[in-house]
Chains A and B, each alone.
Chain A
């Protein structure tokens, strides 16, 4: 079946540094992508999204990059803060199919002081 992402890796960054979290997706028909943040004991929380007709989208301190050629997404977090520590998931959708999200396996971000 289709799969998104890699086995759960851990990324450790120092407070104030920039973080880059990567995600590979396999369904070339996916046309919408979302990054979610999941803090310990909580549900996934929307961070930023991007449609397949874009290659970059910026939010507050976050940027998502999409490379459809190699089916790759990345989430960049500027000036990482302790509150950014969480598990980050990318998710893909083929729109028009009841919005079934297919999640990647996630990346744990640890922010060190």
Chain B
């Protein structure tokens, strides 16, 4: 069974388009995260939601809008895609009050042309 899943796995699109990435976890966790990994493998947090409430919002352009319909899902919508948005986006989750360990999804590879 997949613990943290993301769709799509690959996303190739043109500049200026709007796209969404979806994340679901079946671990019963209540906190979810989005990370961006650049071409040099550097991982940086973007957002975090706890029980559908935004708790971390790093300095991310407002073209990026996360949405959490329930605590098992955290989606990421990106408006007006730019070349610099090309990266691998990872979703992660953890159980608040439990171990600090975050469990990561397989990633979504976004390429903006």
Q: Which residues of A contact B (CB under 8 A)?
A: 8, 32, 34, 36, 38, 41-46, 49, 87, 89, 93, 95, 98-103, 105-106
Contacts and interface: CB of A to CB of B under 8 A. Distances in A.
Given A49-B99, A98-B56, A100-B56, A43 B41 contact: no
Given A95-B100, A98-B50, A103 B44 contact: yes
16 contacts: A8-B40, A34-B100, A41-B106, A42-B106, A43-B4, A43-B90, A43-B106, A46-B101, A46-B103, A87-B41, A89-B43, A93-B100, A98-B50, A99-B102, A100-B48, A102-B45
B100 A105 contact: no
Interface residues of B, number: 26
A99 B31 contact: yes
B34 interface: no
Nearest to A103: B43
A98 B107 contact: no
Nearest to B55: A98
> Which label, helix, strand, loop or mixed, suits the secondary structure of the B interface?
strand
A105 B44 CA distance: 10
A102 B65 CA distance: 21
Contacts of B99: 49
B73 interface: no
A102 B40 CA distance: 16
B101 A44 contact: no
B90 A49 contact: no
Contacts of B44: 103
Nearest to A89: B43
B105 interface: yes
Interface in B10-59: 31, 33, 40-45, 48, 50, 55-56
